[in-house]
């Protein structure tokens, strides 16, 4: 089990929604069909419903369960308020011509002295085509460059979500989180 801290910023709530879905998958493991992996926990009907797979009693939850905490960098605005973790997830929307959300930008300025050398990290970026298409996921590039500059270990490909994440929560985002969990 890994201790995972997800740091995010959000204005409209989309980045928070994505981070909550990733946290849910990391906390509970991958949800699969009946049978599943050897040793996987079988679910009853009410538990299956809680996972959004109604009518699938007997489905399984597999994989390690991780200790996950979410931090809105608007509130937890410095590394000292975040604390230590085995893995850090940095999540921000992209605004305008390739800019981080303002509170994440401020957080990174305060994190200039944060020692992340050798720390396992991953990035989540959201984008909206109403801004310049060339910068759709620039938040991922900015965050990865920050982490590389800190000599952090980027352990998995970034999750990039365009437009509203709602139709992608139980497929693209869930699948990404399940694959990410495998490298923890």
The predicted pLDDT at position 84 comes to 96
User: Which superfamily does 3-28+64-182 belong to?
Assistant: Flavodoxin domain (3.40.50.360)
Q: What is the pLDDT of residue 132?
A: 73
CATH 3.40.50.360 domain extents, the chain: 3-28+64-182
Count of CB atoms situated within 10 Å of the CB of 2: 16
Residue-level pLDDT, tens digit, the chain, 184 residues:
999 999 999 999 999 999 999 999 999 976 543 334 333 344 444 433 343 433 334 333 455 589 999 999 999 989 999 999 999 999 999 988 899 999 999 999 999 999 999 999 999 999 988 777 888 999 999 999 999 999 999 999 999 999 899 999 999 999 999 999 999 9
| Beta-strand pair 41-42/30-32 | unpaired
Give the model's pLDDT for residue 64. 59
């Amino acid at each position: 089990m890994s201790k995972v801290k997800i740091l995010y910023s959000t204005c409209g709530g989309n980045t928070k929604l994505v981070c909550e879905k990733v946290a849910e998958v990391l906390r509970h493991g991958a949800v699969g069909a009946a049978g599943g992996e050897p040793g996987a926990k079988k679910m009853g009907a009410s538990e299956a419903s809680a996972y959004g797979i109604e009518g699938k009693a007997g489905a399984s939850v597999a994989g390690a369960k991780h200790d996950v905490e979410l931090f809105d960098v608007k509130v937890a605005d410095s590394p000292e308020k975040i604390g230590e973790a085995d893995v850090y997830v940095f999540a921000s929307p992209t605004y305008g011509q390739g800019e981080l959300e303002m509170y994440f930008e401020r957080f990174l300025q305060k994190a200039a002295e944060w020692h992340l050398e050798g720390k396992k990290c991953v990035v989540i970026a959201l984008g909206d085509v109403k801004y310049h298409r060339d910068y759709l996921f620039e938040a991922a590039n900015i965050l990865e460059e920050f982490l590389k500059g800190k000599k952090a270990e980027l352990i998995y490909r970034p999750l990039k979500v365009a437009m509203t994440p709602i139709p992608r929560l139980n497929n693209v985002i869930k699948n990404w989180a399940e694959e990410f969990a495998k490298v923890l």
